[in-house]
Each structure stands twice: as C-alpha cells, then as structure tokens.
Amino acid sequence: MKTLMVQGTTSDAGKSTLVAGLCRVLYRKGVKVAPFKPQNMALNSAVTSDGGEIGRAQAVQAQACGLSPHTDMNPVLLKPNSDTGCQVVIQGKVVCNLEATGYHAYKPTAMRAVLDSYARLVLQYDVIVVEGAGSPAEINLREGDIANMGFAEAVDCPVILIADIDRGGVFAHIVGTLALLSESERARVVGFVINRFRGDIALLQSGLDWLEAETGKPIIGVIPYLHDLHIEAEDAVPNTASSQGESAENKLRIIVPILPHISNHTDFDALRLHPQVDFQFVKINEIIPAADLIILPGSKNVRGDLEHLRANGWEQALTKHLRYGGKVLGICGGFQMLGTQMHDPNAIEGLAGSSIGFGWLEMETTLTQEKRLVLVSGELSFADAKVTGYEIHMGVSTGIALNQPALILNGQPEGAISQDNQIAGTYLHGLFDHAESCAAWLTWAGLKELNAQFDYEQVRETGLERLADCLEQHLDWDKLSNL
C-alpha cells in the first residue's frame, strides 16, 4: 500500500499541517512522495506548473515534497461565491457555478476526475499522502462522499484520524467520530494523532491508555503546540497578532479589511511576519484604525464585497485616509474596486449587472468566462526590484490608468499607479513573497528605513523543516512504517 490518508475529527484539526509535515519527513528520507486532496473548499489558491489552479495548502505540501504544484494534487476545488453557491474547478479549470444541491448531483462526475488524477499520481510516486476535508462524520454529506471515507473506500487506503486537543473534548471528538462511521470505515482507521498539546504528557497518559483500550486502535503520536509555526492557512483568516520586532511606533501600519468573500489572504503572510510591519486584519464592521497603508484584498464576489465596504463606512474612511497622505493598494478584486466601474454581464460572481467602483483609477473591468491562470515574473516599474507570483482572475481591465503600470510582468505592463503616487493596483498574487519586491512596496508605502530585507520564502521553508523535526520526534515511526 503506497497511500496514507489523514482525516480530521473537525475542520482545522491540523490535517493540512500533518500532511505537509509527513511529506517533508519522507522527502528528507529520499522517498518520492506527493500530496493529494480529492476535494478542497477554499478561496486561497495557487497556479500550477501545468497552468491550472489548486488549493493553496496543496501548493505548500508540494513544496514540502520538493515538487512544483500540479493540478492532479487537488482535482476538485470549490470556491464559494455566495452562502449557497460556488465556482467548481475540476483538474485546474473552471467548469461551472453550482448551488449546493446542484453540486451534490454533480459529485459522481467530480469523483471520476478525482480517481483519474489519483491514478496518475500513483504511477509517478512511491507514496501518496492524502488530506481529507472537514470531518468524515458529517451525516448530511455522507452520501456520495468524495472527500473523506468515500475516497478512502474507493482506493482502499488506511486512514489516520487527527484531533485538536487545544480546543477541548478531544476524546469525545475521536470516539464520537468513530461511532458515526460505518463498520468498514471504522476498520479503515489505523490510529490517532492528537494535535496541539500543551503541558506535561504524563498528565495525558491515562486518557491515552483509555482511548486505546476503548477503540482498540493505537495512538500514533501526540504533537506539541508549536508556537509561532508558520504554515500557510488553507482558508481561515489568521487571528494571530502581527509579528514581534521593533516597537509599534517604528513600524509601518498596514490594515486589510476581511471581506465576506476574501480570497488569497495568504498574500499578506509576509507582511504579518515582517518585523517592521504592524499588520492587522480588520473585520468589515469594526472601527477602522489609522494606518499608513490600506490594502484591498482579492474577492470571489467583487461587486458584492464592494457594497459591503460601502455599507460599513470604508469608502469614507479610505477617502479620509488618502486626504491625509495615506497609501492604498488593491490586489486582484481589490484592484478592480479602485476603478470607475465593474461589469458582470454573464452573472459569473452573482447577479448580472454593473457597479460603480471607488473611481480612483481611470479604468473599467468586465468579468469574462475565461479565467486567467499564469505564473509570472518581472520587476516593479517604480523601483529596481524583481518580483515573482501568479495571476488568478476572470476580469479584464481597460482604461488610461493602465498607461502608468505598477509592474512589468513577462515583458508586459501590468497594474497601475496613480499620478499622485498614492494609489496602486495589480492582479499579481505573491506580491510580498519575494524579498526585493516586499522591501520596495514597504518603502513606497512610507517605511523610512529598511533594517534588512525580510526573506519570507526562507521563513516558509524553515517552518516546514521545523514541523518535520517535530514529527520525527513525536510520531511513532515504527507504526507508521507498517502502514
């Protein structure tokens, strides 16, 4: 058996992190390993080497394996654009928008894509480490399941169940999950991993002994709470404070509104961790704090999120911010909001129609059926700095604002900067991941003295190595090797 699946008792139990760590451990041992997630529902995504789109977590897991991301690593990606509907991405390409009931009927088609991608990976790699989605015990989602036990049963692979002890109720989570599985599914669970443990392990031992006796299944490991570990989030917006470093008065203040349909908020991980940045995600209905730079992020429903911003006073706050010399940057959907109008004639992101933008850049955007998915590299137009990243968008922007581009990507002008140098916008994701580009944008935003270039790419790599070291120490590798 060359496949092992990690499922969780709850969302955010640590599935993505455990898979990334297992992949890195195996990679360090010389094993040819690849990640796989049959179905992912997330608005954080990445562009792949074969020109498609997958969940951001699988791109990080690919990095842990020393691989370039590929669409076969996440064949089904669901990108919510309303409370009941989502864009369906199959093997990297958009195929349709579906409401929840419509997707339920679509699952057999999606499963064929899942098994097709999985079969290709099995032929190429020694080991496949699979990540489930949410919990396998969601009764209302069991029929036609392709994300958890439905997949495990289809390919006949063993399952590790991971549970988060930090949120409480870990024994109930594990035993309750097993109780809601079928007999064959319970037999497929080969052991448990308890995640985010704080304290003296001796005080937990009686509970571990009881759990093994009660279930007849082994504890494969207890992973300690790894403070300040950075592994990019699959979807949830981080609630951690900005990085430590200089005193707040010496930092550049940056805020980002949490839009109802915010996408690719991992764009800002480098800023959250930067020692000279005081970064804050701000809920859309909270008091808007003072800042040097306000960044409007990507969105899966740009017109809808623009109206939410207006309804909660952000247009007035942004106008005041600009009047007092602050800078504004829009990324992807946030870039589109900076223009004069947005048009969605084909109801791609909601109801068909047009919306008035903030009007600070002379351009209009029209959403089209074809999504642009491309890896790009180039340089900033206003500084001697290289940049790499990717574009994921369905909008085409036109207007005189684009005559003053913010970047030159793949030899072509991209984005825009206003004449007064206060407002900028771009479709590029990963804008701050490259040290040179990050430093240049912070200087543009008002950071007076850059102490040293912050290498976010190295931070990400260091996090994977630290995670792998932890798993090597705290997992029972004899039990894992038997799997």
Query: Can you say how many angstroms the Cα of residue 480 is from the centroid of all Cα atoms in its chain?
Result: 28
Judge contact between 15 and 131, C-beta under 8 A. yes
Q: What letter would DSSP give residue 432?
A: T
Is the Cβ–Cβ distance between 96 and 112 less than 8 Å? no
In the residue annotation, 65 being an active-site residue is answered as no
User: From the candidates 261, 332, 393, 438, which is the catalytic residue?
Assistant: 332
- Strand-strand pairing, 219-224 and 189-197: parallel
H helices of 125-193, in order, are: 149-155, 170-179, 183-188
Q: What is the 3-state secondary structure (H, E, C) of 306-373?
A: HHHHHHCCHHHHHHHHHHCCCEEEEECHHHHHCCCEEEECCCCCCCCEEEECCCCCCCEEEEEEEEEE
Largest CA distance in the chain: 71
Catalytic residue among 261, 429, 434, 438: 429
Nearest to 78 by CA among 143, 146, 4: 146
Examine the residue annotation and report whether 96 is marked as an active-site residue of this protein.
no
Q: What is the dihedral of CA 366, 368, 372, 378, to 10 degrees?
A: -20
Q: How many residues would you count in the chain?
A: 483
Find where tokens 């796989």 sit: 36
Q: Kind of pairing, strands 76-80 and 353-356? A: unpaired
> Which positions are annotated as active-site residues?
332, 429
